[in-house]
Structures are given as C-alpha cells and as structure tokens.
A and B are shown apart, each in its own frame.
Chain A
C-alpha cells in the first residue's frame, strides 16, 4: 500500500495522507460530478458468454474527457466490460448482454442503433498491436476510412495529423510506404492508436494497451494518453496498478464480474472505501 501510495503521491504531487483517518466529509460522488459531465452511463449491465455470467450488473458513469482506469484481477470481467461499451462483446459467439449503455444519453443497445456506427464513435485499441499486415504505414492509418468506403482525399493531412498526435510522425515520415509490421511493438501500438484517431472517435477504449510492450514503449503510450485526455474520453483496462495511478483520473475496481468501487484515482489508491479494493491494491491477492 505505502509503496504504491507514495509513488502516486510523488507523481501527482498529492500530500501523503494517513488512510481512513482524514476521510473527507463530502461524498466522492459529489466531488466527481463537479469535475466533468458524463459521456457514458452504464446501467445494470450484465454480460454473458453462453450461460456464464461474466458481468453481474454494472452501474458506472464514465466522465467526458477524463481517463477512467478499470483494474482488477484476471477474469474479473474488465476486458468484457470495455468490449460492451462499443458492442464488440457481441462479436464473440454466444455472447450477449442485458442492461443499458448510454452514450450521450442514447442507449447503444437500443433496437434502432447500428453497432457499426457505435464503433465509429467509440474507438478501440487492443492488447496486442494489430496493424494490418497487408497494408503499409500510410494505409494502416487510413484503414478506418478506406475500409468504411469513406473519402481519403485529405489522406496525407490525416496521416500526418494522426501520426503526429501519437508522436510517431518523426519516426516514420520517411518510410510511410513500409509495412506496418516492420515497426517495433511500441511503434505498432502507437500506429494502432493513430489508426483509431484518424476516424475522429469521441471515446477511446484501451484494453491493456501496454501489456505487450516494454517499459520504454509503455512510458511513451502513457505520455500519449496524457495528451489525448484533453480531447477524448478514455477508458483503459490495465492489470498494472501503477499505470492506473499514473494515467487515470478515475479508477474502477472490478472483482468477479462486479464493480466493487469507483472513485477518483487518488482516493482509490490512498483511501479505498472497500476492504477488497485495499487488499487488491496492496497486493494481498490478484
């Protein structure tokens, strides 16, 4: 606990506090409402694989232009949760959901909503970098537009903008014709983020985006998340608690398909309200 707490405090410049003793009077929820509006509201979300229920009624707000981290031990449903936010969960065979996910107040699971349009507004970055191997770097960035049959008349501008935003432009600008697969793992992941940004999404879901990367590449992606938070609403799944502490404004702790606790990151890591959260972040299990 102390190790993590001090690392957060060092990072955020928050004065070290004694857990529990100095708990603020105001409720955490109230303080949250002041900082941002809700981009997404998840209501009573249940997710199933066949008959197995992997999410058991999740209620969670996701705030606009903030970074929300989802943490929890393996198998707690955190990946499934983000995949429900852009309707990727239903791509898996026998997978289904109940409940509502409101994006700007509209339920993305409503009957007249097309999953394809949802996914254009809610982009996704995956655990393993997955650039298209048949395309070069330029085409990978434009893949979202091309594959959707959209115009790429401003292609060059979009490529430069997107790659600059992920700080990859200087590294690849002379080799845009090379295969995306020729890049290093960290560069590939940033290319995938650029590919996602090229479609101008409103929300970006990141499913353990750094778990296949080395520490240096991880640091770059984290720095990138810090930049992106100004324009985008970001949800990041991570099994790395330090990472959550470093990048997230809000953190949600999932356990066995349930949301145990959701609060501002500094509260979760310094004064968790739930014993299980504290046990997890102090490394007693997980």
Chain B
C-alpha cells in the first residue's frame, strides 16, 4: 500500500517536472527565434556606411543611419536627465515616508502610469509640448520617454530602498548622524547598485519605444542635434523603412533592428550582472 502511494507520488513528480521543463523551453523559443531571425536578416545590412552615413534620398541605394543612432542616444540621454533625478528622489520619498498620504497617492499614480500605453503618453506630450511650441522636437521626444521611465525608476528605487535593512538606519542614527545624511549616505548608498540596475532596465525599455516618438520627436533625415528640432531615432527609422516599398530600406531596417536589439540586450545583461555582483557582495 505504501509502495503504491510512493509510486504514484513519484509518477506525479516526474510528470509535473516534465511539464515545467517543456513550458520553460517553449518560453525561450520566441526570444531565441527573434534573436536569430533579426541577426540573420540584419547582419547583411551592417556595414561601415550604416554607422557613419546619413540616409540617402528616396530611390538612391546605400547610406546609413548614423543620425538615428545618435538621435536615439540623445533622446535616451534626455529622458534620463529628466527621469532619473525626479524618479530617484520620488522613490526616496516613498521609501522614507511610506505611510504619508502623499506617498500613497504618488505610489498609486506611478502604478497607474506604468500601465498607460506608451502611445497615450505620446499624444499627451504632443498636446502639451508639440502643440504649444508649434513643432516636433527632440525635447518633446525626451519628455515622452522620460514619462515612460519615471514610474519604473520611482518604484524600483522605493522597492530597493525598502530592502535595505532597518538596522543600518539605526546604526547610522545611533552614531549621531542626521536623518537626511543617514538616508543619503547609508540607505541610498547601500541600495545604489540595485537602483542603477532599475534605471538601466528602464533605459532598455524606452530605447526601443516607437509610439511615443511618432508625434513628438518625429523623424529627421539629417543630423538635427538641436533640442527644438525634430530628431531621428532607431525605432522610428525602423518603422519608416519597414513600411516603405524599397528593398534596400528593408535591408537597412533589419540592420537597425539588430543594432537596437543588441543595445537593449547589452543593457539588460549589464543590469543583471550588476545585480549578481550585489548579491555576491552580501
């Protein structure tokens, strides 16, 4: 009798384990097939010109996406400039004054905001910035990306600060250190690698956003480095080229996709490595 129940348990154990294994395998299939597909299609389009030249006029072969590469960097940089200080400081507020009324409201808003579709953010910034200034601009694009980053950065900062043991705060206060110094130099300092990871993941997310840029940064066939000019970006360029009827543009769109995916992948992996370091240091 005991043998029978043992056999049954063993059988169920094997069945469930097998099912989990297959599910896990299936889950990574899309990731790897996307990577493989993008790499095989995109590798052919990569050459020096792609990284150094501007797009050629319609109908002309060749040219590159140097402006879109720089544009993406500029937009992401702008987004970080706006979202990082604001998000980190807001996160500190949420962690330090976690039960205040304002904190509850901010936390709820951040959660709602992180669920808002990115195109909605694009329209919002279009109304607020583009319409009031009268033209598409890098600034508007940066603001749109910043708004998408903001809730992630805020909440990650808060969650990571909450993970810092309260004993460290008491240790600091017990040494006669003022509260704000304990917060910044003990609590935030201890959570810093984690916060950096959160910021990186947020950057990785917005680097690939297309929708919020369509009516904010728009696009630009030329360099356009100024804040008040429209600016090119990899995702929008991919979109534009992919829907065009030209074979050469399709090729370049694939190459751009490969570059973008690589960028995001590198950011993600760096973020994970940072986390692992942090855990090991513990």
Q: A residues within 8 Å of B by Cβ? A: 86, 88, 91, 93, 116-121, 123-124, 126, 128, 130-134, 143-144, 147-149, 179, 181, 192, 195-196, 199
The chain B residue sitting closest to A148, CB to CB, is: B177
Residue from the list B167, B177, B189, B192 in contact with A144, Cβ < 8 A: B177
Question: In whole Å, how far is B192's beta carbon from the nearest beta carbon of chain A?
Answer: 8
Whole-angstrom distance from the CB of B108 to the nearest CB of chain A?
A: 21
B176 in complex: contacting residue of A126, A131, A144, CB < 8 Å: A144
B174–A86 touching, CB < 8 Å: yes
Contact call B175/A130, Cβ cutoff below 8 A: no
Task: Report which of A86, A147, A199 forms a contact with B172, defined as CB distance below 8 A.
Answer: A147
Q: Which 10 A-B pairs have the closest CB atoms?
A: A120-B176, A119-B176, A124-B174, A144-B175, A130-B167, A130-B171, A147-B177, A116-B176, A134-B190, A134-B189
Query: Which residues 101-159 in B have Cβ within 8 Å of A in the complex?
Result: none
Most buried by B among A91, A121, A149, A192: A91
Closest to A119 in B: B176
Enumerate chain B residues within 8 angstroms of A91, measured Cβ to Cβ: 169-170, 173
CA–CA, A123 and B176, complex, Å = 8
Residue of B nearest to A94 (CB): B99
If the complex has contacts A119-B173, A195-B175, are A147 and B190 also in contact, measured as CB distance less than 8 A? no
| 13 residue pairs from A and B, CB less than 8 Å apart | A88-B173, A88-B174, A116-B178, A119-B175, A126-B171, A126-B174, A130-B167, A132-B168, A144-B175, A147-B181, A147-B185, A148-B175, A195-B171
- Asked whether B95 is an interface residue with its Cβ less than 8 Å from the other chain, the reply is no
Contact with A along B250-282 (1 / 0, CB 8 A): 000000000000000000000000000000011
By the criterion of a CB under 8 Å from any partner CB, how many residues of chain B are at the interface? 23
A116 touches B177 (CB 8 A): yes
Chain B residues within CB distance 8 Å of chain A = 99, 165, 167-178, 181-182, 185-186, 189-190, 192, 281-282
A132 to B185, CA, bound (A): 10
User: Which of B171, B177, B185, B189 counts the most A-chain CB atoms under 10 A from its CB?
Assistant: B171
Q: Across the interface, which residues of A come within 8 angstroms of B186, CB to CB?
A: 132, 147
Pick the contact of B175: A128, A133, A143, A179 (CB < 8 A).
Answer: A143
**B277 vs chain A, min Cβ distance (A):** 13
Which B residues are in CB contact (< 8 Å) with A117? Answer: 176
Contacts of A126 in B (CB 8 A): 167, 170-171, 174
Closest chain A residue, CB of each to CB of B174:
A124
What's the minimum C-beta distance from A271 to chain B, rounded to whole angstroms? 36
A-B contact sample (18 more), CB < 8 A, given A130-B167, A131-B171, A147-B186? A86-B174, A88-B174, A91-B170, A116-B178, A117-B176, A118-B176, A121-B176, A123-B174, A126-B170, A126-B174, A132-B168, A133-B190, A144-B175, A147-B172, A147-B182, A148-B175, A181-B281, A195-B175
What are the residues of chain B within 8 A of A118 when measuring CB–CB?
A: 176
Are B170 and A130 in touch, CB under 8 angstroms? Answer: yes
- Minimal beta-carbon separation of A236 from chain B (angstroms): 15
- A119–B178 Cα gap in the complex (Å)? 10
Tell whether, in the assembled complex, residue A133 and residue B281 are in contact, meaning their CB atoms are under 8 Å apart.
Answer: yes
Bound complex: CA A120 to CA B173 (Å): 9
Residues of the B chain whose Cβ atoms lie less than 8 Å from the Cβ of A192: 171
On chain B, the residues within 8 Å of A93 by CB distance are: 99
B169's closest neighbor in chain A, by CB? A91
Query: What residues of chain A lie closer than 8 Å to B171, measured between beta carbons?
Result: 126, 130-132, 192, 195
B169 contacts across to A, CB distance below 8 A: 91
